[in-house]
């Protein structure tokens, strides 16, 4: 297992961030990153011989995230059929903006989310994303473009909902402030 510890030391935090951006839950992300690293360790000879070992492990992580989404969708469907409901009593200390961004990100389909996160969150080139996801550069371009458009739309809807919830005097005061900056 020569080199695996160095690989984890060098890339472990980035894989943790990728997992978090794919799942949006820090505990699930920690598990996902650990699972991806376990899979990499189990096949380390093959991983280290790959042209891009980091891309190989990122692909493992993204594929495992997609598997979690499929399992979760099946679970939700089954719970719906059984008419079971659960309540989530966790308190999320994040600001509304962080929650809106995370929620908008999680509403993207997994492939679009992966393209958006890898391109803009990790500043990978289109070619690097294509290698990581084993898709064409054209697919990366189209999926990233669609992801950005959907992400902006989701954030715009969240901002509109917040603005509508404000009392009328705050909405008009906010508009006056924006107008004074434009002049």
Which tops the pLDDT comparison, 21 or 80?
A: 21
**CATH 1.10.10.10 residue window(s) in the chain:** 92-183
Q: Give the architecture-level CATH label for domain 1-90.
A: Orthogonal Bundle (1.10)
* Number of helices and strands in the chain (H, E): 9, 0
CATH number of 92-183: 1.10.10.10
DSSP 121-144: IS---HHHHHHHHT--HHHHHHHH
For residue 160, the model assigns a pLDDT of 63
| Residue-wise pLDDT tens digits, 105-128 | 888 998 999 999 899 888 899 999
**CATH 1.10.1740.10 residue window(s) in the chain:** 1-90
For residue 105, the model assigns a pLDDT of 86
Residues 6+ apart with CB under 8 A from 155: 100, 101, 104
């Amino acid at each position: 297992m020569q080199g695996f510890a160095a690989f984890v030391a060098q890339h472990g935090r980035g894989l943790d961030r990728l997992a978090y951006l794919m799942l949006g839950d820090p505990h699930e992300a920690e598990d996902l990153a650990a699972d991806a690293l376990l899979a990499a360790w189990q096949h380390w000879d093959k991983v280290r011989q790959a042209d891009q070992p980091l891309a190989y492990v990122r692909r493992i992580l993204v594929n495992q995230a997609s598997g979690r989404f499929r399992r979760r969708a099946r679970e939700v469907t089954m719970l719906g059929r059984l008419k079971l409901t659960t309540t989530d009593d966790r308190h999320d200390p994040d600001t509304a903006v962080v929650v809106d961004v995370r929620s908008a990100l999680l509403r993207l389909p997994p492939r679009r989310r992966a393209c958006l996160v890898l391109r803009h969150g990790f500043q990978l080139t289109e070619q690097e994303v294509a290698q990581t996801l084993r898709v064409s550069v054209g697919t990366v371009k189209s999926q990233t473009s669609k992801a950005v458009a959907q992400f902006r739309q989701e954030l715009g809807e969240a901002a509109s909902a917040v603005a509508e919830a404000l009392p009328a005097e705050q909405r008009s005061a906010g508009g006056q402030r924006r107008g004074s900056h434009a002049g």
